[in-house]
Every structure is written in C-alpha cells, then in structure tokens.
Amino acid sequence: MKMHTGTTWKIGQVTVTRIEELLGPSFRPEDLFDFWDPAVLEEHGHWMAPDFYQPSTNQIIMSVHSWLIRTPHHIILVDTCCGNQKHRPESPHFHQLNEPYLHRLRSAGVEPEDVDYVLCTHLHVDHVGWNTRLVDGRWVPTFPNAKYVFSREELNFWDPSKNPHLPEEPGDVFTDSVLPVIAANQAHVVSMTDQLSDTLLIEPTPGHSPGHIMLRLISGRDEGVFIGDVLHHPIQIYQPEWNSRFCMDPGQAIASRKYVLSHCTERNAQVFPAHFGAPHTGRIRSNGKSFLFDY
C-alpha cells in the first residue's frame, strides 16, 4: 500500500492531519456504484487517474484513514478505521490486519492517552476498528481518556441485542469495537445533533447508514466538514445520484449527499471524506448546473 505521510491542513486556528491505515486499489467501479457508467471515464478519466482510479486494473483507489483535529482546547479523532487483529472473514481487506496505525498517530505528535474525543460518523467495520485494541485477550478502549461520540440511532440499529436479525459480521464489529467502550463508560451518545464545543457541531446525514452523522468544524471564517461515507469517491460530486452498494437507504443517501454538497459550496467549506485517494480532501464548487471538485 502506498502511503502519504505528514499531511496537515489548517482550518482557521485548527489543524487537521490525516492518519492513514490503508491506501490502494480496491473495488472495480461497477462493483462499488449501483449506476456506474464507464462513459464517465471519457469526461473524467484525466483527473481520476492515477490517484482516484487505476486504469490498468479498472479499480477504484480508496483510502482508509482517520482525521486528527487539534483545536486550542481539544484533540479529536474522526473515525478509527479497521483496527488490528479484528476477525473479519467477510471483509478480507480488513481481516486480521497488522498495520502501524498507532505509530503513525504518534508520529503526528499524539499519544492515545492525549485524545479527548473519538467521533464515529457511523459504525461500519472500517470506521470503528481502532476504537479498541487487544490486551491480554480482551478488547479494551484504545483511547483511555476519550469520550467516544456515537449517534443513538446508529447504536440502536447495530446492537445485536436490539436487532437480532443482523448478519454475523456487523454483530462481531459491535461486540469487539463498540461494546467495550460502553462497558468502560466512555460512550457519549448523541441524537444525531449535538455541539461538542463552540466550534464543533454534529449534524445528521443518514442514508448510508441509519444514524450516520457529520462533524462541522468552524474556526473564524473557515469551515471543515467531516462527512464519513456521504461520499466514497469524488466522482459522486459530479454524479450525486450514484450511491455506493453499501448505502442502506438509497433515497436518503442521495438527499444527504446533495445537502452536504450544497452546504460545502455555500460555505466554501473544505470537505474531509473518509475514503478519497490523494490529496484526500478539497472544496466543492458549482457551475450553476452541477457540482465540481476543487482539490
């Protein structure tokens, strides 16, 4: 896997650093997007390759990373990737990983004990893995002093005790990466809307999952928006009706995507998705008819 290190952006007086777990070719586009049309490559292929699409293998380039936010008062980690030693046979890309994620976090100047908040935009396998780590055969919170922010709707949906019809793997994800946080009294449960501080606002963006949330970081006149899986790939900026095959409520996912794109355009906000290839972030523009990606 290729790695981009030492990447930090400024939002007003706040810094945002990307902490990588994985980066490289993953899905074929027709396997990721419900309505993929290869004709889009004629118009967009020149900017998609090589950082967002690999023509030689017909694969989308995807990243799995966290966003490390340092404000004058708090250290926040948005989404925690897949984690090491997690049993994920149904997700072979994420099964039994052994990645130097914590080393990369420390290289950015942050120890796990320094983190004040962990915000999980949703509870899919590749967003909660480093919530916990294996110590003496037990899963324990990786960030012992942090409050972990979960939306109540998301918790209720993925909890096997409340939704016994869930497939096995989501239940395992909840058991090893969420329940130990709750047991340690480190969960901070929100109803999809909350305010962590004067500059950190939580808003609902359901559709990809039932309780998906985004984080707005406002510092002075600048804004950054951490959108989780509202967008998986920048082609969705041009084709906002294209859902990934992982979006659970297609109509709501499209509505949330269009809301986020409009919001970021109107506010000139920098968008921080969870899976874009390099440079991983950018701004949304409009030509009056459609949205554009300025990276």
Residue 206 pLDDT: 98
Domain with 234 in it: what CATH number?
3.60.15.10
Give the Cα separation of 245 and 43 in Å (integer): 23
Number of domains the chain is built from: 1
Whether 39 is covered by a domain: the verdict is yes
- In the chain, helix, strand, coil percent, each to 5? 25, 30, 45
What's the CA angle centered on 185, arms 137 and 229, to 5 degrees? Answer: 85
Whether 3 is covered by a domain: the verdict is no
Whether 1 is covered by a domain: the verdict is no
Q: Where are the alpha helices (DSSP H) in the chain?
A: 29-32, 40-48, 101-107, 152-158, 168-177, 179-183, 235-238, 250-267
Give the Cα separation of 18 and 189 in Å (integer): 25
Whether 2 is covered by a domain: the verdict is no
Report whether pLDDT(2) > 80.
no
Residues 68, 16: contact at Cβ < 8 Å?
Answer: yes
Pick from 243, 175, 247: nearest CA to 209: 247
Domain range for 281: 8-294
pLDDT (tens digit per residue) in 23-54? 999 999 999 998 999 999 999 999 999 999 99
Confidence label for 71 from pLDDT (cuts 50, 70 and 90): very high
Give the Cα separation of 283 and 295 in Å (integer): 6
Whether 200 is covered by a domain: the verdict is yes
Range name among 5-14, 42-51, 93-102, 144-153 with the lowest pLDDT average? 5-14
Whether 76 is covered by a domain: the verdict is yes
What's the pTM value of the predicted model, to 2 decimals?
0.95
pLDDT (tens digit per residue) in 191-201? 999 999 989 99
Collect all residues with Cβ–Cβ distance below 8 Å to 162 and sequence separation of at least 6. 156
Whether 121 is covered by a domain: the verdict is yes
Pick from 110, 92, 93: nearest CA to 101: 110
Whether 54 is covered by a domain: the verdict is yes
